[in-house]
Amino acid sequence: MAQMLLNGELVGSQSGKTMPVRNPANGEQVGEIPRGTAADVDAAVTAAAKAFPGWAATPPSKRAKLMHEAAQKMREVLDEVATLLSKEQGKPFAHAKIEATRVAENLEYFAGLADKI
């Protein structure tokens, strides 16, 4: 089942509908995603608004720690993420790996700024 992250849980679209993800280079279907609805957007906005005060109260050192952990997790699955990016975007694996690596680098960079702003 195609799922999206909403309020910390993986859920399908409220409509139950999905849509294919195709490799633009060859048209091959490489996955399926939930077909979000206005109700899904409303639920996401409500969840984000509810979560914001807790995140705003999170000390910068804790935010930095979480971002460093996310960067480490990205590096652990770098090849898998690059493979998915390559297929869904129709780009060479080497380019997708650069993109995925940049995500980890950005997380580390901004984690380093957490106690400076």
Phi, psi for 77 (deg, rounded to 5) = -115, 25
Report pLDDT for 116: 87
Structure-token pair, residue 91: 């780009």
Report pLDDT for 115: 84
C-alpha 15, offset from chain centre? 22
pLDDT digit of tens for each residue in the chain (117 aa)? 799 999 999 999 999 999 999 999 999 999 999 999 999 999 999 999 999 999 999 999 999 999 999 999 999 999 999 999 999 999 999 999 999 999 999 999 999 999 888
Report pLDDT for 13: 96
CA atoms of 49 and 61, how far apart (whole Å): 22
Report pLDDT for 1: 72
Q: Smallest Cα–Cα separation from 22: which of 32, 14, 13? A: 32
